[in-house]
Structure 1
Amino acid sequence: MGKRGKGFRRNHHFNHSNRNSNKQDQKPQENADTRKPYMDIVRENEKFVEYYRTIGICKEEEYDQFITSMKTDLPATFRITGSKGVASKMLEIVEEQLIKECTTQQNENEKPPNIFPLPWYPNKLAWQLELTRKDIRRCEAYYKLHNFLISETEHGTISRQETVSMIPPLVLDVQPHHKILDMCAAPGSKTAQLLELLHANDDPIPSGYVIANDVDNKRCYMLVHQAKRLNSPCVAIINNDSSILPNLTASLPDGSTEHVQFDRILCDVPCSGDGTLRKNPDIWLKWTPANALNLHGIQSRILRRGVELLAVGGRIVYSTCSLNPVENEAVIHRLLCETDGALELVDVSASLPGLVYSKGMEEWPVSSRNLEFYKTFDEVDEKWRTTIRPQMFPPKAEDRSKYNLNKCIRVLPHQQNTGAFFVAVLKKVKPLTAKEKTFKEEEKNPEEEAKKRENEDRLPQNQRKRRRKEGYKEDPFVFFGEKEEVWDEIKKFYQVSDEFNSRCLLTRCASGKKKNIYLASDAIRDLVVQNQGAIKFINTGVKAFVRCDNKNMKCAFRIANDGLESIYPYVGSDRKIKIQRDDLISLLVNDKPEKSPPITSLSPEIQELLKDLSPGSCVLLYKEGLKDGTNTLNINISGWRGTTSLRCYMSQHSTVHLLRLLGGDISKYDTNKYKKAVEPADETEEPKEETAPMETEQVKNDAQ
């Protein structure tokens, strides 16, 4: 679901009582569904056309082109993710194989497809494809590219994300040590991008972190799925109303605590979403100027709360997929007026070379739902004064240089064949209030706190503070203590370095047999421990160890692939096996337990390395120099040394991904209408005695 879904869902929530009040007047209809298929929607709305022509959304000579573009379908775009080595190799595959085939496999009378890297996205890692569904169906090369995107998206090395949606995380200027907050994060494409930027230096556990919040409990689980693809121990997903997000508490070296101030905040607020008309044509049927008027207040409150949580010197990005200045420049102008010089707009145009955009609007009229336009609040008819507010109007002409709203960025669809988007970058230059000068918490008196809770429990139910959040009840996050029986066993077997902080390991059960053990960074651990009672944490940590009871094992836990990148630097050399390309390909293509190749079928070099290795989990290491000369492809895989065989733990998508990187044969997995698909491996099949249980990949289990 795109950003437009976020805005409409919450807008419906605000009008819930109005909808219910009309139920008596509605005739019951069984299974009624008034939605139309997108292909049947007439992309016309006279109010929309008149409204944006009147407010001057673009130059008059461009307006027809603007409207025409809004009525066409949106091209596909994707980003290449992963470590520097993996991203470099994937770019090589995309450019030299897939796209080259698409551009050369053409009839003489056909125009080659328009496939190109986005000029403003660093290192050619984002691409735009102007291909239709019809194109994909008629050409094998296009179909192969299509299947590649689907498979690699599941693995996590490709993110299919709308072009304009990639801009806000880029202009945040994220560094690995930053504390980052994504206030309205679902469905999570920008959150994933923030995590990629946090890990840009290939540090397995950077000191910074990302807190991803969303008010909708169910949509938080979409965030879990997105974050899981990145396998980062530096992210936590929380469920709260972002306009009243509580202060998070963090520990200081001296044992005291302080309120967290974030270095970077993304404030991608719910909006009317009319910038997404190209991918959500049903908006044509229900667009009205009232949508923006209804959302201006909540947008302003969310942004204001974000600024309160921002550290002095920090940067906050406000963005919407709306065209309407009431949701965009008016919100920024209102904030600048109310914060008395604490914030300033930042010009980030130099960091987006090649992006064609319009500057922020510095004047606009405000319209009622009936398209009655007003230049000032004094002109507003009395009947509209409850919906049109003074803060929605632009600054006076003499004050425009004070606010510099022209530093905002407006991307319009006809400029570079994209969706429409608004981005404003703000820097906090001084505290909002005197209280912000110190955030160290005063020491609380335990007796007073207990008395406060006792008094609260005596109140009638409707007057008590709501302690339980709506939605699913979450299992607790239980971190390891100083002495954990299972950890002694794991540490000894894998020869884990003393530098590894085992107190950052956690489980999701307070008692009973531990099945999965997760890893969080030091900072994330501290946040969960300090705030778990005050804020609803949905998910955190990356799966590090999985129980696999097996009579041939000296340790009851194996290393999970999910958290391997964070764990392997601390694993002793005895459980690490350097593997050659041909041997690794042999292991990958033999994906069923009963077909795992015997050690004797592998190269003499690896046989020698495995000779003295006891059965159980191990780490397979592969290294390869790349053509660009600056990066190295490093592949680390969770392997299993059986009594007579060797295998690796891989889902089908991960197997295909690694075979692509290694130049192996993926024809049995490359399904399209031209070649019949081979049945995928049954990941739930019972393994042979010498192997460990396979992991199933279910979003529900990932969330829990």
Structure 2
Amino acid sequence: MGKGGRRHKPKKNFAAKRRDKQKNKEEWEKAPQRCYADIVRENKDFEIYYKTQSIVPENQWESFITTLQENLPVAFRITGSKAETKALLKIIKGELFEEILNTKLETDNAIVNEAEKVRPHCLPFYPEDLAWQLQLTRKDIRRSEAYSRLHNFLISETSCGSISRQEVVSMIPPLVLDVKPWHKVLDMCAAPGSKTAQLIEMIHADEKIPHPEGFVIANDLDNNRCYMLVHQAKRLNSSNILITNHDSSVMPNFKVTKSDGTKGQLKFDRILADVPCSGDGTMRKNPDIWCKWTPANGNNLHGIQYRIAKRGLEMLAVGGRMVYSTCSLNPIENEAVLHRILSETGDAVQLVDGRDFVPGLRCDPGVSYWLPASKTLQFYKSWDEVPEQWQTQIRPKMFPPAPEEAHKYHLERSMRILPHHQDTGGFFVAILEKLKPLPWEASSLVVDQQETPINITSENDNKLSLGDEVEVEKKGGDKKRNLEEQSKPWGPQRKRKRVVGYREDPFVFFKDETEDVWAPIKNFYGISDELDPRCLLVRCHEGKKKNIYFTSPAIRDIVLSNEDNVKMINTGVKTFVRCDNKNMKCAFRLAQEGMRSIFSYVSDTRKVEVCKEDLIMLLQNDDPHTPPEIEKMSKETQTRLSDFATGSCILLYKEEDSSSPNPLKLEMVGWRGTMSLRAYVPICDAVHYLRLLGADCSKFEKNKFEENRNALKNGNDQVNDDKADDSNSMITDSIDEAKVDEEAA
């Protein structure tokens, strides 16, 4: 018997747990699955609530509700260097879209030209025509070869990071945040990572700066979703990102090393607070929200949204900007949170109009009047009207400003994107600029980074920042008790959340140039002294170093200075991989993932230029046992390789057309064997490069339509369409499982 007389259940062994898991899986598979198509996309309470809030003009209501009941179109962005994006854009506009526009679909009643049903179009507000939208359903994929080819193209290019599947409205917050390569950026609620990917791209936007000073810290509370975030970030191969796992509403202050060697507090230039929300703006892709929606959803989230936004402003540098965004239509989650923040911060923070960053985007201004409602859809104009039974759900700070004071807050500067504006989901975006320290920052609790005594000012004892509260808890003992006696700014003190999730491998940075594996690597690749070996790390304390990762100096400093404050999930880009071949001068080969980070440091003695025809041959070779022989390559390539030492190297290609403002330049990892040469890149990257070179990559793609035609040609009359359809469904499901095109509510 345990404490209190409770009987403890005996622990199950591993085999029993496995049997239970298998049994649950079988029961789940037998259970009838609910199809989105069967969900009734209606909710009377939803319609009453939003008609009362008047966020949609009366003459647009029918268009609004009709669009909200339709499926969401597919959208994607093109990423990468300017030369690669231009080449990829040319392919998309050319062969892929032309085939779609000329495709005819057989419907139940007639043959309809696909161009009449769907026309791919460029998003007018996204720079350089790099974002596109089109209607794409599973039914189209199964019945149209052109759509199937496009979908396979999107999957392949998404895998190598050249394309990002992302909802249109989700692209807006990073655009209006206006990130520069030198900015310190925090993404407070980052998973699943589409917006984080945009932020990373902006850090690396200037190709003249191979190693930008800026960085992105991407954080999420959910440990499992952090690994989804890792998956997204790894596609971009950046050394300027750190992924953390913490409650962003009470995120501690990050420490950094100042120029004089002392520790200081990190303040961010840009912060994205895409907070958890009810998600009723995502009903077009998540139809089950229609059944679950109630006014209580937004009321219950208002508090955490406010705390995250407030903590973000505390971590923001003076002169910096924070974007507050939700995928909700509800003013309680949007304008009410902004009004509460602005009323507390006074003239230290102001709303900024961000429409200039997204010209061509249709949106409505924020509202200055709304009515909080109970779960039973009773609306209240003031706190005095709220009955006691609803006072835990509706709070005083949820009400709008008085009409005579509304002009002070400029809530109209925020942007509400409605589904019928541009055939998108619903979204809310606001830009907050910090003009000076917040009222409670100037004389609040001071926590000295060098363990000096804590000072508490009596005048501002109720203005303690959330980050400082966490710092105080770490001081422990009498100092914490004194704080609780003098200040309880949010009522009962919250218990610190126990760290949960997977135990992470350590981040072990190289100490200096004396690291045992560094000298052979540096000598073999002729690495410049400009590369600080202390920015290299491994994920183990003992044993052989298998993979070596590279981070920026700023990220290294943050990791080492804050390991005890925040749970670090992932950082660094794989740069060197152990390859214990016999008779090799260096036991490590280059990794394709780290090419952008390491390229400028590697000596020209390990770089070799390859002709276009030879490069295509290398990329098309998919047999690891028979790499292309050097003697079968062009004379130019043979000459360059004649005195080239065996081992890992970098293959270079430059487009010969000098008239192009952005000639195509490719750098990839290769391997110079005794008699052969190999392109050491993943298949998804090989397919990407082949497309850019205008070469045939069909051998790497699966086409069920071609398979069916070949089967019929060979006399097999029974073509398994269902199996082929299931194959394409699996392709679609793989994207859904990876959350590549999903911005979770």
Query: What's the TM-score bracket when you normalise by the shorter of the two chains?
Result: 0.7 to 0.9
Q: Which residue number corresponds to residue 95 of structure 2?
A: 97
Shift, 1:539, TM fit? 0.2
| Equivalent in 192, 216, 223 of residue 187 of structure 1 | 192
Instruction: Determine if the alignment matches structure 1 residue 642 to structure 2 residue 647.
Output: no
Counterpart of 1:481, as a letter, is K
Counterpart of 2:113, as a letter, is E
Q: Which residue number corresponds to residue 342 of structure 2?
A: 336
Q: Which residue number corresponds to residue 368 of structure 2?
A: 362
CA spacing shift, 1:292–1:615, aligned 2, 3 Å? same
Superposed counterparts of 1:259-274, under 5 Å? 259-274=265-280
Instruction: Give the Cα separation in 2 of the matches to 1:235 and 1:279.
Output: 29
1:639 counterpart SS class: strand
Superposed counterparts of 1:573-584, under 5 Å? 573-584=604-615
Q: Which residue number corresponds to residue 159 of structure 1?
A: 164
Instruction: Determine if the alignment matches structure 1 residue 443 to structure 2 residue 450.
Output: yes
Instruction: Give the Cα separation in 1 of the matches to 2:99 and 2:377.
Output: 51
Q: Which residue number corresponds to residue 536 of structure 1?
A: 567
Instruction: Give the Cα separation in 2 of the matches to 1:272 and 1:432.
Output: 29
CA spacing shift, 1:480–1:440, aligned 2, 3 Å? farther
| Equivalent in 246, 266, 274 of residue 252 of structure 2 | 246
Counterpart contact for 2:102–2:113, Cα < 8 Å: no
Q: Deviations over 1:341-368 (max 9, x none)?
A: 1111111112211111111111111111
Q: Tell me the TM-score normalized by structure 2.
A: 0.83
| Equivalent in 508, 517, 522 of residue 478 of structure 1 | 508
Shift, 1:286, TM fit? 1.0
Instruction: Give the Cα separation in 2 of the matches to 1:613 and 1:242.
Output: 52
Superposed counterparts of 1:176-575, under 5 Å? 176-202=181-207, 203-433=209-439, 435-436=441-442, 441-444=448-451, 469-482=499-512, 483-575=514-606
Superposed counterparts of 1:688-703, under 5 Å? none
Q: Which residue number corresponds to residue 489 of structure 2?
A: none
Unmatched segments (≥5 aa) in structure 1:
1-28, 679-698, 700-704
Q: Which residue number corresponds to residue 713 of structure 2?
A: none
Counterpart contact for 2:100–2:114, Cα < 8 Å: no
Counterpart contact for 2:103–2:114, Cα < 8 Å: no
1:148 counterpart SS class: helix
Counterpart contact for 2:73–2:135, Cα < 8 Å: yes
| Equivalent in 687, 694, 713 of residue 656 of structure 1 | 687
Instruction: Give the Cα separation in 2 of the matches to 1:626 and 1:63.
Output: 53
Counterpart of 2:450, as a letter, is E
Q: Deviations over 1:154-192 (max 9, x none)?
A: 111010000000000000000000000000001111101
CA spacing shift, 1:440–1:311, aligned 2, 3 Å? farther
Counterpart of 2:231, as a letter, is H
Comparing 301-310 with 466-475, greater Cα deviation is found at 466-475
Counterpart contact for 2:354–2:430, Cα < 8 Å: no
| Equivalent in 620, 634, 643 of residue 603 of structure 1 | 634
Instruction: Give the Cα separation in 2 of the matches to 1:635 and 1:441.
Output: 49
1:600 counterpart SS class: helix
Shift, 1:144, TM fit? 1.2
Comparing 465-474 with 437-446, greater Cα deviation is found at 437-446
Counterpart contact for 1:258–1:440, Cα < 8 Å: no
CA spacing shift, 1:129–1:628, aligned 2, 3 Å? farther
CA spacing shift, 1:445–1:467, aligned 2, 3 Å? farther
| Equivalent in 71, 84, 87 of residue 86 of structure 1 | 84
CA spacing shift, 1:33–1:138, aligned 2, 3 Å? closer
Instruction: Give the Cα separation in 2 of the matches to 1:373 and 1:624.
Output: 65
| Equivalent in 124, 130, 136 of residue 129 of structure 2 | 124
Counterpart of 2:96, as a letter, is L
Counterpart of 1:270, as a letter, is P
Q: Which residue number corresponds to residue 3 of structure 1?
A: none
Q: Deviations over 1:662-694 (max 9, x none)?
A: 11111212322212399xxxxxxxxxxxxxxxx
Comparing 63-72 with 268-277, greater Cα deviation is found at 63-72
Shift, 1:382, TM fit? 2.5
Counterpart contact for 1:431–1:437, Cα < 8 Å: no
Shift, 1:318, TM fit? 0.4
Q: Which residue number corresponds to residue 152 of structure 2?
A: 147
Comparing 182-191 with 594-603, greater Cα deviation is found at 594-603
Counterpart contact for 1:259–1:440, Cα < 8 Å: no
Report how many residues are paired.
Answer: 642
Shift, 1:640, TM fit? 0.4
Shift, 1:443, TM fit? 2.5
CA spacing shift, 1:464–1:612, aligned 2, 3 Å? farther
Counterpart of 1:443, as a letter, is Q
Instruction: Give the Cα separation in 1 of the matches to 2:662 and 2:126.
Output: 19
| Equivalent in 102, 109, 113 of residue 110 of structure 1 | 113
1:595 counterpart SS class: coil
Shift, 1:436, TM fit? 5.0
Q: Deviations over 1:428-450 (max 9, x none)?
A: 0010147459999443379xx9x
Counterpart contact for 1:114–1:131, Cα < 8 Å: no
Q: Which residue number corresponds to residue 68 of structure 2?
A: 70
CA spacing shift, 1:440–1:607, aligned 2, 3 Å? farther
Q: Tell me the TM-score normalized by structure 1.
A: 0.87
CA spacing shift, 1:123–1:440, aligned 2, 3 Å? farther
Counterpart contact for 1:79–1:126, Cα < 8 Å: yes
Comparing 74-83 with 431-440, greater Cα deviation is found at 431-440
Instruction: Determine if the alignment matches structure 1 residue 60 to structure 2 residue 91.
Output: no
CA spacing shift, 1:264–1:590, aligned 2, 3 Å? same
Instruction: Give the Cα separation in 2 of the matches to 1:628 and 1:67.
Output: 51
Q: Which residue number corresponds to residue 734 of structure 2?
A: none
Q: Deviations over 1:588-647 (max 9, x none)?
A: 111222221111111111111111122110000111267983212221111001111000
Counterpart of 2:627, as a letter, is S
Counterpart contact for 1:218–1:471, Cα < 8 Å: yes
Instruction: Give the Cα separation in 2 of the matches to 1:650 and 1:675.
Output: 27
Shift, 1:132, TM fit? 2.9
Unmatched segments (≥5 aa) in structure 2:
1-25, 106-110, 454-470, 482-492, 711-737, 739-745
Instruction: Give the Cα separation in 1 of the matches to 2:624 and 2:682.
Output: 13
Counterpart of 2:582, as a letter, is K
Instruction: Give the Cα separation in 2 of the matches to 1:501 and 1:440.
Output: 32
CA spacing shift, 1:416–1:465, aligned 2, 3 Å? closer
CA spacing shift, 1:429–1:612, aligned 2, 3 Å? same
Q: Deviations over 1:457-497 (max 9, x none)?
A: xx9xxx99979721111111010012111001100000000
Instruction: Give the Cα separation in 2 of the matches to 1:649 and 1:111.
Output: 40
**Root-mean-square deviation (Å):** 2.5
Superposed counterparts of 1:615-694, under 5 Å? 615-624=646-655, 629-676=660-707
Instruction: Give the Cα separation in 1 of the matches to 2:130 and 2:267.
Output: 31
Instruction: Give the Cα separation in 2 of the matches to 1:454 and 1:140.
Output: 65
Shift, 1:135, TM fit? 2.5
